[in-house]
Amino acid sequence: MGRHGTIAGRKAAQDAKRGQIFTKYARAITMAAKSGGDPNYNVSLKHAIERAKAINMPNDNITRAIKKGTGEDGGANYEEVTFEGYGPGGVAVIVEALTDNRNRTTSAVKHAFDKNNGNMGVPGCVSYMFNRKGYIVIEQDGSIDEDALMEAALEAGAEDFVPQEDCFEIYTSPDDFNDVTEALRGGGFEFIESNVEFIPSMEATPDEGAMKNLRKLIEMLEDDDDVQNVYHNCAVDLEE
């Protein structure tokens, strides 16, 4: 199914690393809560909480993360950092991180690239090969009317609707992402994923030798607690 993998594959990966994912989502909630601790008035916080709840993150964890962001629980000084580079086979890679120590995170990301035959570059070296898009995934479990969902998504402002074997993918502009998610959620649709992401506009197809190192690179980056998201333009499903 391309760069995102199958629904089953994503769920299995989440189950295997649930504690680590909780840590990453908690940081995202803390960062969002710096702009206000009430999700009714902070859309970024609302989406961060919804993503955390989608993987069954305990409410106590969510509450603690919010309090850290608002300063009620000691505060946290995270900053957003983005890295770009080339992985094996010329695959473009973008890494988004939330860190309280930029030097530590930069060193760890660079080490991951170097160890796996990649090359961390300068800002802008690969981002031109991606578009920033809202991305929504709804599981195709047989209970959803595809035409009704497509109509609801497009009427709400979605740019594209793509049926896959096990899900429906919906793409929006970043500006319309909130309106589309609110409209679909109000229509009773539940999301597997919903986020504003880097979507590749051109893809690379590395050979099998490069694929082995590419998988190791992506896994090493995703295993770092500071790293929130890893995007790439590999045309081959890394879970295969």
Residue 15 has pLDDT above 70, yes or no: no
Tell me the average pLDDT across 20-38. Answer: 92
Coil, helix or strand for 59? helix
Q: CA 230, CA 237: separation in Å to the nearest integer?
A: 14
Q: CA 233, CA 204: separation in Å to the nearest integer?
A: 6
Between strands 119-120 and 167-172, the pairing is unpaired
CATH number of the domain where residue 186 is located: 3.30.70.980
Q: How many CA atoms lie within 13 A of 101 on its CB side?
A: 8
* pLDDT at residue number 9: 60
Give the confidence band of 150 by pLDDT, cuts at 50, 70, 90: very high
* pLDDT at residue number 58: 93
Q: Which helix (H) or strand (E) holds 180?
A: helix 177-186
CATH number of the domain where residue 18 is located: 1.10.10.200
Q: Which of 208, 212, 213, 206 is nearest to 117 (CA)?
A: 213
Within-domain flag for 207: no
Query: What's the pTM?
Result: 0.86
> Which residue range(s) make up the domain with 9?
2-70
Q: Please state the domain count of the chain.
A: 2
Q: CA 95, CA 81: separation in Å to the nearest integer?
A: 8
Single residue among 21, 42, 70 that ends a domain in this structure: 70
Within-domain flag for 235: no
Q: What are phi and psi of 238, to 5 degrees?
A: -70, -15
Within-domain flag for 163: yes
Between strands 160-163 and 92-99, the pairing is unpaired
Single residue among 27, 48, 70 that ends a domain in this structure: 70
Among 14-18, 87-91, 228-232, the minimum mean pLDDT is found in 14-18
- Could you count the other beta carbons within 10 Å of the beta carbon of residue 201? 11
pLDDT mean across residues, the chain: 91
Apex 197 CA angle, 191 and 203, nearest 5: 115
Within-domain flag for 218: no
Residue 1 has pLDDT above 70, yes or no: no
Tell me the average pLDDT across 18-35. Answer: 89
Give the confidence band of 7 by pLDDT, cuts at 50, 70, 90: low
- Could you count the other beta carbons within 10 Å of the beta carbon of residue 59? 10
Q: pLDDT above 90 covers what percent of the chain?
A: 78
* pLDDT at residue number 36: 94
Give the confidence band of 179 by pLDDT, cuts at 50, 70, 90: very high
* pLDDT at residue number 14: 58
Within-domain flag for 174: yes
Q: State the SS3 of 204-232.
A: ECCCHHHHHHHHHHHHHHHCCCCEEEEEE
The distance in angstroms from the start CA to the end CA of the chain is: 10
Q: CA 146, CA 143: separation in Å to the nearest integer?
A: 9
Q: CA 39, CA 77: separation in Å to the nearest integer?
A: 20
Tell me the average pLDDT across 45-65. Answer: 92
Give the confidence band of 2 by pLDDT, cuts at 50, 70, 90: very low
Whether residue 165 contacts residue 148, with contact meaning beta carbons closer than 8 Å, is answered with no
* pLDDT at residue number 240: 58
Within-domain flag for 191: yes
Residue 218 has pLDDT above 50, yes or no: yes
Single residue among 51, 70, 89 that ends a domain in this structure: 70
Within-domain flag for 52: yes
- What are the pLDDT digits (tens) for 73-98? 776 789 999 999 999 999 999 999 99
